[in-house]
Amino acid sequence: MSYITLVIKTYMSYIPYMNIQSVKQVSRKFKSIKDLPDWIQASLPYHVQIRIIRNALGMTQTQLAKRIKSHQRAVNRIEKGEISTTIKTLEKVAEQLNCDLKVLLVPRSPIIDFLEDKALRIAMSIIRLSVSSSALEYQKPSSKIIRDEIEQFKEGILKKNRSILWEKL
């Protein structure tokens, strides 16, 4: 057993089992931004949508402000994107504009791809440390062994402990 394998097996023995299948299901359910219809990808910021819909309805800022129990100046600043708006205020605005408010968290890339990339980077950094130690002792493994160990460690992270992806190493 090589030094790298010993380090990996010791490290992985502390990691509780986590089901990667659930991550794949979530990844399929939460499509990345690239997988969404064009109209969602190109959606306008909420403050622009408010102005466009309000104007299409023929409603003034003052009228909207009264309907949401606010001030015209606040509606103006919301529509210009000058102030942050609470979800509660957006719900009131949406209701008065005859709209539903939907807040979406849309992954920038498929979740599983993101996790694999992150796990690969961590596996590479840990294996490189082990390889450096081995090289000092004139026991540096071959490139193929290093690649195999990196892949094995990456798969171990993904299958058994994805929480390590969020720790500082």
79 contacts 120 by C-beta, under 8 angstroms: no
**Where in the chain are the domains?**
3-33+107-166, 38-96
- Render each residue's pLDDT in the chain as its tens digit; 169 residues: 443 443 344 444 443 444 677 667 777 776 666 776 776 666 788 999 999 999 999 999 999 999 999 999 999 999 999 998 999 999 999 999 999 998 878 888 888 899 999 999 999 988 888 777 665 556 777 888 889 999 999 999 998 888 888 888 6
Q: Which fold has domain 38-96?
A: 434 Repressor (Amino-terminal Domain) (1.10.260)
d(CA 9, CA 107): 32
Three-state SS sequence of the chain? CCHHHHHHHHHHCCCCCCCHHHHHHHHHHCCCHHHCCHHHHCCCCHHHHHHHHHHHHCCCHHHHHHHCCCCHHHHHHHHHCCCCCCHHHHHHHHHHCCCCCCCCCCCCCCHHHHHHHHHHHHHHHHHHHHHHHHHHCCCCCCHHHHHHHHHHHHHHHHHHCHHHHHCCC
Question: What does pTM read for this prediction?
Answer: 0.61
